[in-house]
Structure formats: C-alpha cells, structure tokens
Amino acid sequence: MSDVKALEDAVKALPPHDLAEFRRWFAEFDLAAWDEKIEGHLATGKLDELLTEAEEDYDSGERRSI
C-alpha cells in the first residue's frame, strides 16, 4: 500500500472531532507551503514580469472586470 493510500485510509477513519482538528492543521500547513512557494518565486524574480504588468495597469487606471 502506498503512503498516500495509507494516509487516505487513516483520515477516513478519524472521528469527527479529530477530523476537524486535522483539517485545521492541514489548512495551516497548506497555506504555509503556498506562502513559501510564493516567497521563493519572488526571491528568484519569477514574478517580476507579472508584478510590473500589474503596477503598469494600476498606474494607467486600466482595470479588468472579473
């Protein structure tokens, strides 16, 4: 059995209170991983072009509806 499958089975077997605690923990873990990835992209310049484009759009008053 793979590690992922074992984790899936373990999560499915959690009682509701423990599942809620796990979900809270995982949400924080996932957000921290996302923040770390974005910070890494910022540090290496991978987002520079997008940031420049956003700043130019903002400065020109150009807006897009979403």
Model pLDDT, residue 43: 97
Average model confidence (pLDDT) across the chain = 94
C-alpha angle 19-20-23 in degrees, rounded to nearest 5:
85
> Burial of 66 by CB count in 10 Å (0-12 exposed, 13-18 middle, 19+ buried)?
exposed
Tokens 């509701």 sit on residue = 16
Whole-structure pTM value? 0.67
pLDDT in tens, 22-44: 999 999 999 999 999 999 999 99
Q: Which two tokens stand for residue 36?
A: 């770390």
